[in-house]
Amino acid sequence: MLVGTGSQNGFLTNERVRSIITEGLAAIGLDGRKVLVLTPDSTRTAPLPMLFRLLVELLRPRVAKLDFMIALGTHPLMSQDRINTLFGLTEKERKEDYAGINIFNHAWNDPEELQPLGILDRETVEDISLGLMSEDVPVSINRRVMNYDEVIVLGPTFPHEVVGFSGGYKYFFPGICGPEFLNFFHWLGAVITNVKIIGVKDTPVRRMITEAMKLVPVDRHCISLVTTTDGLKGAFVGSCEEAYSAAADLSAEVHVVYKPRAYNTVLSIAPEMYDDIWTAGKCMYKLEPVVENGGTLIIYAPHVTEVSYTHGKVIDRIGYHCRDYFLAQMERFDGVPRGVMAHSTHVRGGGTFVNGVEKCNVNVILATSIPESRCSQINLGYMDPSKIKISDYEGREDEGVLVVHHAGEVLHRLESEKSM
């Protein structure tokens, strides 16, 4: 049973959110069960402090065990101080009011933390990927999941460059899974390309994740949210499929902006929650569809000092390139995690690689605290952020110049795509 509501207009009050989640959880048979709640990290807009307290209030009297896990994917482990900030907790509250409730990090690259689940066979992979991929793919997941009877996904849904829309089963894969399947389906999304995937509800990558979920031997439900920086637009509780579907439909209304034209220059301003290019790359993903061929997109993030805290050394070695650059010479990149190559293509955007010459559609420039020499090394442009005046770019859409504040969560498309 799906419980919830949402609208593009207006926001849900805290009382309405409480009512939806209370009713939704009451309909799930959780009494006496061990429950694990999956949450996003600090790179997603969500009212986690309020929701954490609400779930503890509603579930702790009913269940035998209640814990939380941050679905980090390959993002860095969070310190205890950062976890407390994420959930709006003091250390005193953690030890006294919430004693016995664990909040775990997911460690994607620690074999001791992973449980093999099985294999997606070659034939299944070929079928779901529409012939783009043909291989057996091992699937693993955080082994702590096996200690619980029920997993509840708690998180927002946004347009997403790899899956189409985030949320739902994405909190399992890549949220708490191992590297083999993660790298595989990220590359599948890259081969299809960001512009064809992002903002599409049903994609081959989403279907691949759904297929992998058949290997997960625990019950699951979902609290799917549609969030903005100003408040909650929607909340849906039910099966992961139903809740995701409802949230994705609303996200398509809330998080997609249609523009009348393409732009020759886009200043994409990254929020503080993106602390490296691995996450701030979303400022390109969500805007690529409205950049003119040959245009420039500037990721403005003076606070960013690192390319990727997890994968920086690999990116330094391979750089940022379009998809065709990699596809034409895959043997050169044997052993490079395909998830990192996927990120590379998403930040660099579309392009061609003909007769050994790469031609990218968008000139991507970093206006960050990453030095010019490193930007050049990784095949991206450089601008000194201290010399950029945002006001110089604003109010010039008629000239083909677009400024987007708090970029990374709202997808921009052309109005001509509405009927597609």
Q: What is the DSSP string of 4-44?
A: EEE-SSS---HHHHHHHHHHHHHTS--TT-EEEEEE--TTS
Nearest by Cα to 248 from 336, 164, 359: 164
Rounded to whole angstroms, the Cα distance separating 69 from 38 reads 5
pLDDT of residue 419: 59
Rounded to whole angstroms, the Cα distance separating 66 from 56 reads 8
Which domains does the chain possess? 3-254 (3.40.50.11440), 258-417 (3.90.226.30)
Show the DSSP H helices in 198-307 as ranges: 204-213, 240-254, 277-280, 282-285
- The kind and range of the H/E element at 233 are strand 231-238
pLDDT of residue 128: 98
> Which residues have CB under 8 Å from 287's CB, separation 6+?
266, 268, 297, 402, 404, 407, 412
From the CB of residue 67, how many other CB atoms can be counted at a distance below 10 Å?
17
DSSP-derived 3-state class of residue 110: coil
User: Phi first, then psi: what are they for 81, rounded to 5°?
Assistant: -65, -40
Ramachandran assignment for 173, one of left (phi > 0), alpha (psi -120 to 50 degrees), beta (any other): beta
pLDDT of residue 274: 97
Its sign, for the CA torsion 127, 128, 134, 137, is negative
Q: For the whole model, what pTM was predicted?
A: 0.95
pLDDT of residue 185: 97
Over the chain (420 residues), what is each successive 10-residue block's mean pLDDT? 93 96 96 97 93 97 98 94 95 91 95 96 98 97 97 97 96 97 97 97 97 97 96 97 97 97 98 97 98 98 97 97 97 96 98 97 98 98 98 97 97 85
Rounded to whole angstroms, the Cα distance separating 242 from 215 reads 19
pLDDT of residue 316: 97
pLDDT of residue 418: 81
**Bridge partners for 352 per DSSP:** 359
From the CB of residue 13, how many other CB atoms can be counted at a distance below 10 Å?
11
The total number of residues written for the chain in this structure: 420
Angle at 34 between CA 182 and CA 99, to 5 degrees: 100
